[in-house]
Amino acid sequence: MSDLAALQLPIWCFVAIASLSATIGAMLASQFDGVRVPPNTCLGATATPAILALLLVPGPVPLGFALWSMVLILGLSGLAVIDAVSRTVPDILTVPLIPLGLLHAEMNGAPGLVFALAALGVIGIAIAAHMALRRQATWLGAGDVLLLAGAVAWFGPAVLPDILFLTGLLLLIRLGLGELIDLRPATCVPVARRADRAMPLAPALGAAQLLVWLGGPVF
Protein backbone atom coordinates (compact mmCIF):
# COMPACT_ATOMS: atom_id res chain seq x y z
CA MET A 1 0.00 0.00 0.00
CA SER A 2 2.81 2.39 0.87
CA ASP A 3 4.48 1.69 -2.48
CA LEU A 4 1.22 2.51 -4.25
CA ALA A 5 0.79 5.74 -2.28
CA ALA A 6 4.33 6.78 -3.17
CA LEU A 7 3.82 6.15 -6.89
CA GLN A 8 4.79 9.13 -9.05
CA LEU A 9 3.05 9.56 -12.39
CA PRO A 10 4.87 11.20 -15.31
CA ILE A 11 3.50 14.55 -16.42
CA TRP A 12 2.13 13.18 -19.69
CA CYS A 13 0.07 10.67 -17.73
CA PHE A 14 -1.30 13.40 -15.48
CA VAL A 15 -2.22 15.54 -18.50
CA ALA A 16 -4.07 12.54 -19.94
CA ILE A 17 -5.92 12.07 -16.63
CA ALA A 18 -6.88 15.76 -16.57
CA SER A 19 -8.16 15.59 -20.14
CA LEU A 20 -10.08 12.37 -19.56
CA SER A 21 -11.68 13.70 -16.36
CA ALA A 22 -12.76 16.91 -18.06
CA THR A 23 -14.15 15.00 -21.03
CA ILE A 24 -16.22 12.76 -18.75
CA GLY A 25 -17.50 15.83 -16.90
CA ALA A 26 -18.52 17.52 -20.13
CA MET A 27 -20.19 14.36 -21.43
CA LEU A 28 -22.15 13.91 -18.20
CA ALA A 29 -23.23 17.54 -18.41
CA SER A 30 -24.62 16.92 -21.87
CA GLN A 31 -26.94 14.31 -20.35
CA PHE A 32 -28.18 16.54 -17.54
CA ASP A 33 -31.84 17.47 -17.87
CA GLY A 34 -31.74 17.84 -21.62
CA VAL A 35 -28.81 20.28 -21.84
CA ARG A 36 -27.36 20.27 -25.35
CA VAL A 37 -23.65 21.00 -25.35
CA PRO A 38 -22.17 22.44 -28.56
CA PRO A 39 -18.89 20.86 -29.69
CA ASN A 40 -16.82 24.00 -29.09
CA THR A 41 -17.98 24.18 -25.46
CA CYS A 42 -17.18 20.52 -24.87
CA LEU A 43 -13.77 20.94 -26.54
CA GLY A 44 -12.96 24.00 -24.43
CA ALA A 45 -13.95 22.26 -21.21
CA THR A 46 -11.83 19.24 -22.14
CA ALA A 47 -8.75 21.12 -23.29
CA THR A 48 -8.51 23.71 -20.52
CA PRO A 49 -7.56 21.39 -17.61
CA ALA A 50 -5.12 19.47 -19.79
CA ILE A 51 -3.40 22.66 -20.98
CA LEU A 52 -3.21 24.04 -17.45
CA ALA A 53 -1.78 20.76 -16.19
CA LEU A 54 0.85 20.76 -18.92
CA LEU A 55 1.84 24.37 -18.31
CA LEU A 56 1.64 24.60 -14.52
CA VAL A 57 2.65 21.18 -13.19
CA PRO A 58 6.38 20.45 -13.40
CA GLY A 59 5.65 16.74 -12.70
CA PRO A 60 6.03 13.91 -11.76
CA VAL A 61 2.74 13.84 -9.88
CA PRO A 62 1.89 11.72 -6.82
CA LEU A 63 -0.86 9.21 -7.46
CA GLY A 64 -3.03 10.63 -4.67
CA PHE A 65 -2.88 14.11 -6.15
CA ALA A 66 -3.80 12.71 -9.57
CA LEU A 67 -6.85 10.90 -8.17
CA TRP A 68 -8.10 13.95 -6.28
CA SER A 69 -7.47 16.03 -9.41
CA MET A 70 -9.69 13.66 -11.34
CA VAL A 71 -12.55 14.23 -8.88
CA LEU A 72 -12.18 18.01 -8.85
CA ILE A 73 -11.71 18.39 -12.61
CA LEU A 74 -14.66 16.14 -13.40
CA GLY A 75 -16.98 18.14 -11.15
CA LEU A 76 -15.80 21.59 -12.18
CA SER A 77 -15.84 20.76 -15.90
CA GLY A 78 -19.40 19.45 -15.75
CA LEU A 79 -20.64 22.51 -13.86
CA ALA A 80 -18.79 24.88 -16.18
CA VAL A 81 -20.38 23.30 -19.24
CA ILE A 82 -23.90 23.38 -17.80
CA ASP A 83 -23.51 27.01 -16.72
CA ALA A 84 -22.03 28.00 -20.07
CA VAL A 85 -24.97 26.67 -22.06
CA SER A 86 -27.87 27.24 -19.66
CA ARG A 87 -26.72 29.98 -17.26
CA THR A 88 -27.58 27.77 -14.28
CA VAL A 89 -25.50 25.96 -11.66
CA PRO A 90 -27.43 22.91 -10.40
CA ASP A 91 -27.32 22.46 -6.63
CA ILE A 92 -27.43 18.69 -7.09
CA LEU A 93 -23.93 18.90 -8.60
CA THR A 94 -22.42 21.62 -6.43
CA VAL A 95 -23.41 20.18 -3.05
CA PRO A 96 -21.31 16.97 -3.37
CA LEU A 97 -18.17 19.04 -3.97
CA ILE A 98 -18.42 20.42 -0.42
CA PRO A 99 -18.14 17.10 1.50
CA LEU A 100 -15.62 15.84 -1.04
CA GLY A 101 -13.48 18.91 -0.41
CA LEU A 102 -13.72 18.42 3.35
CA LEU A 103 -12.78 14.76 2.94
CA HIS A 104 -9.77 15.81 0.88
CA ALA A 105 -8.78 18.27 3.60
CA GLU A 106 -9.02 15.68 6.35
CA MET A 107 -7.08 13.07 4.38
CA ASN A 108 -4.30 15.54 3.63
CA GLY A 109 -3.83 16.90 7.14
CA ALA A 110 -5.66 20.21 6.66
CA PRO A 111 -7.97 21.54 9.41
CA GLY A 112 -11.22 20.11 8.10
CA LEU A 113 -13.32 21.74 10.82
CA VAL A 114 -11.97 25.18 9.93
CA PHE A 115 -12.66 24.54 6.26
CA ALA A 116 -16.20 23.38 7.08
CA LEU A 117 -16.96 26.43 9.21
CA ALA A 118 -15.58 28.71 6.49
CA ALA A 119 -17.77 27.03 3.86
CA LEU A 120 -20.80 27.45 6.11
CA GLY A 121 -19.77 31.06 6.61
CA VAL A 122 -19.84 31.68 2.85
CA ILE A 123 -23.36 30.27 2.68
CA GLY A 124 -24.45 32.28 5.73
CA ILE A 125 -23.12 35.55 4.32
CA ALA A 126 -24.88 34.86 1.02
CA ILE A 127 -28.18 34.20 2.81
CA ALA A 128 -27.82 37.39 4.85
CA ALA A 129 -27.02 39.42 1.72
CA HIS A 130 -29.98 37.86 -0.08
CA MET A 131 -32.32 38.86 2.72
CA ALA A 132 -30.85 42.35 3.06
CA LEU A 133 -31.11 43.06 -0.65
CA ARG A 134 -34.68 41.78 -0.77
CA ARG A 135 -33.86 39.27 -3.52
CA GLN A 136 -32.38 41.88 -5.83
CA ALA A 137 -29.01 40.14 -6.21
CA THR A 138 -30.06 38.11 -9.24
CA TRP A 139 -26.49 38.23 -10.59
CA LEU A 140 -25.51 35.59 -8.04
CA GLY A 141 -27.51 32.39 -7.70
CA ALA A 142 -27.66 29.74 -4.98
CA GLY A 143 -25.64 27.36 -7.14
CA ASP A 144 -22.87 29.94 -7.45
CA VAL A 145 -22.77 30.33 -3.67
CA LEU A 146 -22.56 26.57 -3.16
CA LEU A 147 -19.80 26.36 -5.77
CA LEU A 148 -17.87 29.04 -3.89
CA ALA A 149 -18.49 27.20 -0.62
CA GLY A 150 -17.12 24.08 -2.30
CA ALA A 151 -13.98 26.01 -3.26
CA VAL A 152 -13.49 26.96 0.39
CA ALA A 153 -14.01 23.33 1.40
CA TRP A 154 -11.28 22.24 -1.01
CA PHE A 155 -8.75 25.03 -0.51
CA GLY A 156 -9.58 26.63 2.83
CA PRO A 157 -10.41 30.23 3.73
CA ALA A 158 -6.80 31.41 3.40
CA VAL A 159 -6.83 30.77 -0.36
CA LEU A 160 -10.26 32.34 -0.95
CA PRO A 161 -8.78 35.78 -1.87
CA ASP A 162 -6.65 34.10 -4.55
CA ILE A 163 -9.66 32.31 -6.02
CA LEU A 164 -11.81 35.46 -5.99
CA PHE A 165 -9.01 37.49 -7.58
CA LEU A 166 -8.50 34.97 -10.37
CA THR A 167 -12.25 34.62 -10.91
CA GLY A 168 -12.65 38.37 -11.26
CA LEU A 169 -9.70 38.55 -13.65
CA LEU A 170 -11.11 35.75 -15.81
CA LEU A 171 -14.54 37.41 -15.88
CA LEU A 172 -12.95 40.67 -17.03
CA ILE A 173 -11.11 38.79 -19.79
CA ARG A 174 -14.37 37.13 -20.77
CA LEU A 175 -16.10 40.52 -20.94
CA GLY A 176 -13.33 41.79 -23.18
CA LEU A 177 -13.60 38.78 -25.47
CA GLY A 178 -17.35 39.28 -25.57
CA GLU A 179 -16.76 42.54 -27.39
CA LEU A 180 -14.84 40.69 -30.10
CA ILE A 181 -16.50 37.26 -30.27
CA ASP A 182 -20.13 36.22 -30.10
CA LEU A 183 -20.34 34.38 -26.77
CA ARG A 184 -24.09 34.12 -26.41
CA PRO A 185 -25.53 30.98 -24.80
CA ALA A 186 -25.96 28.02 -27.10
CA THR A 187 -29.50 27.00 -27.95
CA CYS A 188 -30.46 24.49 -25.30
CA VAL A 189 -33.12 23.23 -22.95
CA PRO A 190 -31.98 24.95 -19.74
CA VAL A 191 -31.81 23.22 -16.39
CA ALA A 192 -33.93 26.03 -14.98
CA ARG A 193 -36.48 27.54 -17.33
CA ARG A 194 -35.46 31.11 -16.57
CA ALA A 195 -31.84 32.21 -16.61
CA ASP A 196 -31.17 35.01 -14.12
CA ARG A 197 -27.90 36.39 -15.45
CA ALA A 198 -26.17 37.01 -18.73
CA MET A 199 -22.65 35.80 -17.89
CA PRO A 200 -21.83 32.37 -16.45
CA LEU A 201 -19.78 32.31 -13.26
CA ALA A 202 -18.97 28.59 -13.00
CA PRO A 203 -16.45 28.51 -15.91
CA ALA A 204 -14.44 31.38 -14.41
CA LEU A 205 -14.73 30.13 -10.83
CA GLY A 206 -13.86 26.59 -11.90
CA ALA A 207 -10.86 27.73 -13.94
CA ALA A 208 -9.67 29.84 -10.99
CA GLN A 209 -9.80 26.79 -8.75
CA LEU A 210 -7.83 24.75 -11.26
CA LEU A 211 -5.21 27.49 -11.54
CA VAL A 212 -4.72 27.42 -7.76
CA TRP A 213 -4.92 23.62 -7.62
CA LEU A 214 -2.29 23.11 -10.29
CA GLY A 215 -0.17 26.22 -9.94
CA GLY A 216 -0.50 27.23 -6.30
CA PRO A 217 -1.80 30.42 -4.65
CA VAL A 218 -1.31 33.81 -6.24
CA PHE A 219 -0.51 35.77 -3.08
- Give CA separation, 25 vs 21, 59, 65, 145, 157, in Å: 6, 24, 18, 20, 26
Could you tell me if 86 and 195 are in contact, meaning their C-beta atoms sit under 8 angstroms apart?
yes
Query: Which residues in the chain belong to E strands, given as ranges?
Result: 8-9, 61-62
The C-alpha atoms of residue 182 and residue 155 are separated, in whole angstroms, by 34
Report the distance separating Cα 67 and Cα 128, nearest Å: 36
* CA gap 187, 189 in Å, rounded: 7
pLDDT in tens, the chain (219 residues): 455 657 899 999 999 999 999 999 998 888 877 678 888 888 888 999 999 999 999 989 999 999 999 999 999 999 999 998 888 888 888 999 999 999 999 999 999 999 999 999 999 988 887 777 765 555 456 788 999 999 999 999 999 999 999 999 998 887 776 555 555 544 333 334 344 456 788 999 999 999 999 999 888
- How many whole angstroms from its chain centre is CA 194? 22
Beta strands in 5-103 (DSSP E): 8-9, 61-62
User: Which CB contacts under 8 angstroms, 24+ apart, belong to 55-58?
Assistant: 56/211, 56/214, 56/215, 57/11, 57/14, 57/214, 57/215, 58/11
